[in-house]
Chain A
Amino acid sequence: MGSIFMAFLIGGALCLIGQLIMDFTKPAVTPGHILVGYITAGAVLSGLGLYQPLVDIGGTGATIPLSGFGHLLTQGTLKAVEQKGILGALSGGAEAAAAGITAAIVFGYIIAVIFNPKG
């Protein structure tokens, strides 16, 4: 039960930060900017070793926000660098994120083909 509550708390907090950024920078920051910003911030914080503690506390509360995706990319890259050196810097991120990216592309395409927008 504890992990579920912490996921709610950390996940909610990360979304809250996004909301504050959008409300205070209106209209400059769009949802697209938020997505790009979160993945970038997650990747950078992960490189500095600051994101893993958040994952340890929050579980999916830290991995499901898009910053968690950035974290995944960085961790995959760093691990691959240890094994393969410079080649790992190029291959590690895609390997770690392969399932997520493929799922997004394939599900996205299928759903977009099946359903029609409202109106």
Chain B
Amino acid sequence: MASGKKRGKQTVVFDNPPVLTAWSAVVGPKEGDGPWGKDFDFIIDDYMFGEKTWEKAETKMLRETIKLTLSKRFFTPEDVELLLAGDLLNQTVSSNFAARELQIPYLGLYGACSTMAESLVTGSMLMDGGFFERVVAASCSHHYASYRQYRFPTEQGVQSTPSTQWTATAAGAILLEAGGTGPRVTSATIGKVIDMGQTDMADMGCAMAPAAADTIKTHFDDLGRSTDYYDLVVTGDLAKIGMAAAEQLFIRDGLVPKPNYSDCGVLLYDETQGVDAGGSGCGCCAAMLCGPLLKKIVNGDISKLLLVATGALMSPTTSFQGESIPAIAHAVAIEM
């Protein structure tokens, strides 16, 4: 039964690690004002992005991010064999509509805020399996489009709590190729859905932290790696409070969280930007990865990165019905 590429319970190791040959990140105004503004490829200055609705703006953002990524290698959409993308909106419409315009063969994914890792893992496995040689992995989110679906109308005066996270307006896309130079996806751990009975929609970080901790522990166990193997372990959007919870769980599991652990939700914004606990959304870790993090790898600041993107898998309906929030986390190792 055991395949040559699988290690331990949930981890895969690639014989021919796909290469990240091009990537780009497009973000909204607030993200552009944040600490990493200069590391993103393009900052849109208006949440409508020249469109009539937020949903259209999100589609355009994803589409343009993918096109920009391809243009860095002088490719057109016809040169790409597969697009793997997802977002937060119902029926993942932003990705569906972007794929309609790009005309790249497409598989839509939903992993909530973990989608960037989900698309990278899926793409890498399909490539290492020999099915494709050129795949784009992407995800995006739009603050106002998702806020209106998941929470209260934006103009309703609702008090935010310290644990509330700000859904990022951002998109990231990565071109994976079978050969070439650049960072490579070397291994990945596919997470289980973990539910620790959390019900607070205004505190996703604490609902997702156990999933992140579980996936990270499994990753290190499956590969028999020591915790200082990576230069940086970064979780996707647990934000301040969730990250604090995750650190406690790491300690419980015998992992040393500091100093090479951080979280995209904490990194994306400044304290002064009024985002409470930090960022969230598919675009948050997508843009952090495709902006500052990959730049650091290319510049040689870090050479081994473990991205653990987390996602909260509830819907407004299940929350209204009193269900707790199930969460997932996938880990992707990117090494230079």
Contact = CB atoms under 8 A, between A and B. Distances in A.
Contact of B54 (A22, A26, A31, A119): A119
Interface string B202-230: 11000000000000000000000000000
A3 B205 CA distance: 47
A117 B153 contact: yes
Interface string B145-185: 00000001111111101000000000000000000000000
Contacts of A31: 152, 156-158
Contacts of B199: 27
Contacts of A27: 161, 199-203
Interface string A78-119: 000000000000000000000000000000000000000111
B143 interface: yes
Contact of B200 (A22, A26, A117): A26
Interface string A19-52: 0001000110011000000000000000000000
Contacts of A117: 144, 153-155
Contacts of A22: 159
A119 B143 contact: yes
B47 interface: yes
Interface string B24-53: 000000000000000000000001100000
Contacts of B143: 119
- Chain B's interface size range is 10 to 19
B161 A119 contact: no
B154 A119 contact: yes
B274 to A, nearest CB: 13
Contacts of B153: 117
A27 B143 CA distance: 21
Do most interface residues of chain A lie in helix, strand or loop, or is the interface mixed? loop
A21 B48 CA distance: 37
Contacts of B144: 117-119
A118 B161 contact: no
A104 to B, nearest CB: 15
A51 B179 CA distance: 77
Nearest to B156: A31
Nearest to A112: B155
B154 A118 contact: yes
Interface in A35-76: none
Contacts of A26: 161, 200, 202
A119 B156 contact: no
A31 B156 CA distance: 9
A15 to B, nearest CB: 12
A117 B153 CA distance: 9
Nearest to B151: A30
A41 B158 CA distance: 22
Contacts of B156: 31
A78 B14 CA distance: 77
Interface string B44-77: 0001100000100000000000000000000000
A118 B155 contact: yes
B145 to A, nearest CB: 9
Contacts of A119: 47-48, 54, 143-144, 154
12 contacts: A27-B161, A27-B200, A27-B201, A27-B202, A31-B152, A117-B153, A118-B155, A119-B47, A119-B48, A119-B54, A119-B143, A119-B154
Closest 6 CB pairs of A and B: A119-B144, A119-B47, A27-B200, A117-B154, A117-B155, A27-B202
Given A26-B161, A26-B200, A27-B199, 5 more contacts: A26-B202, A117-B155, A118-B144, A118-B155, A119-B54
